[in-house]
Amino acid sequence: MLRPLQTLFFVFIGSFLLTSCATSQTKSTAKVNNAPPATKWGELVSNSAVFRQNHTGFALYDLEKQETVAEYQADRYFTPASNAKLFTLYAGLCMLGDSIPALRYTTKGDSLIFWGTGDPSLLHPDMPASNVFAFLKNWRGHLFYYPHNYTGKRFGAGWSWADYADYYQAEISPLPLYGNVVRFTNNTVSPRTFKDSLRTAAWSEKFKLARDEFANNFYSMGWPTKSFTEDLPFRVANSTMAYLLSDTLKKEVRLFPKTALGPQFKTLYSLPIDTLYRRMLQVSDNMFAEQILLLCASQIDPNNEGIDATKAIEHVKKQFLADLPDEPIWEDGSGLSRYNLFTPRSVVKLLQKIHAKVPQQERLFGLMAIGGKAGTIRNQYKSKTPFVFAKTGSLANTYCLSGYLRTKSGKTLIFSLMNGAYIKKTAEIRAEVERILTEIHEKY
């Protein structure tokens, strides 16, 4: 009788211990997996069927409350594409004044020696005329162009070199002319210097213009069936730039040999700086973004030792961006580089800092692409009163949108919604981003 009782006793104790262990294990597991519940705004993103196979991150910040109201994978790193231009904007706001420092120059007798600081506006076909052309045209003595102060390469780190002939990848240079592109139309070639450089190549059913990679030899294939305007970057060389200036000014411009320029110089200012920011953000002009970084680099080069974008980036990161939640991997000004990596919460923090620099919302929002009205989102977010003011970012398999959102209730929100590594059509991703932001606009 005793043995069966002992057996039952040990079975009971064993069962109790096993149950206790299981309960303890369940509680422990529950504790580990007990992540904070997402808000309904974050759930719009996390529950999206369109984003299901994406790498997606989202952050939403209430300016009035000064608090984050929604996050979804906001600490993950994403390729930002042209969202990198927001970092370039902030660099400019921190380092540049109200007007573009277009030229540096010095004089020796009747000779004017001048060099560029990165200003992309001189003779640009889509920009207003500045005083730089008149300044050079009206000089009564000799003109010498010094091109040796640029120490960078023609393309940024991580760019696709196969895109050398595409309009969005003009070469970087210290004193761009004509936007560093040749503009072809049905009847004209500008700058006219290149009008004899166009040849007819092999036949093609589809009209196309092309260029040799390392020479300014342009080719047309096929025949245009309608009016067209097409920009192709030209190959930048010191002699080419001096010749373009000579041809346009109708006076000789010679190259000045490489030497130590030193700190003795004057600066000529040109257009309002917002003309650069607005085109960079609304049209998503890559060339302007890279050149704005060079303008910033020139501000930390008082002895004219040499400018390049990497110096500006490192300076801005150290002096102005040390408080971001996550260190930005920032390689270029435009976002063409696949090396760039930012997190949504860092982009939102950056947009807070931009807003603090430009608290006048009429000015700030006027620089951005405006939903239903201007720039890269003019065909989206259509409303009687615009409510999205943002920067797009698009590369293959990448679509990001970050900026400011006005709600029907009168709130101003900052958001960053970043998508990458998807195989759907970008139009589907773009439409889903629009659906989510429109719902927040209507219901927040």
Question: What CATH number is given to the structural domain containing 423?
Answer: 3.40.710.10
Q: What is the pLDDT of residue 149?
A: 95
Q: Are residues 69 and 50 in the same domain?
A: yes
Q: Which of 266, 291, 311 is a domain's end point?
A: 311
Q: What is the pLDDT of residue 204?
A: 77
Residue 277 · residue 90 · CB < 8 Å:
no
Q: Are residues 228 and 91 in the same domain?
A: yes
Q: How confident is the model at residue 153 (pLDDT cuts 50, 70, 90)?
A: very high
pTM, entire model: 0.90
Is pLDDT of 26 > 60?
A: no
Domain residue limits at 217: 87-311
Mean pLDDT of the chain: 91
pLDDT single digits (tens) 43-88: 999 999 999 999 999 999 999 999 999 999 999 999 999 999 999 9
Q: Are residues 347 and 244 in the same domain?
A: no
- Lowest average pLDDT, out of 217-226, 268-277, 388-397, goes to 217-226
Is pLDDT of 379 > 50?
A: yes
Q: Are residues 104 and 247 in the same domain?
A: yes
Q: Are residues 397 and 434 in the same domain?
A: yes
Residue 300 · residue 316 · CB < 8 Å:
no
Q: Are residues 203 and 264 in the same domain?
A: yes
Domain contains 17 = no
Q: Are residues 424 and 370 in the same domain?
A: yes
Contacting residues for 411 by C-beta, under 8 A, at least 6 apart: 62, 63, 64, 444
Structure tokens at 127: 């920009």
Is pLDDT of 191 > 60?
A: yes
Is pLDDT of 10 > 60?
A: no
pLDDT single digits (tens) 394-425: 999 999 999 999 999 999 999 999 999 999 99
Mean predicted confidence (pLDDT) in 229-258 = 97
Q: What is the pLDDT of residue 45?
A: 97
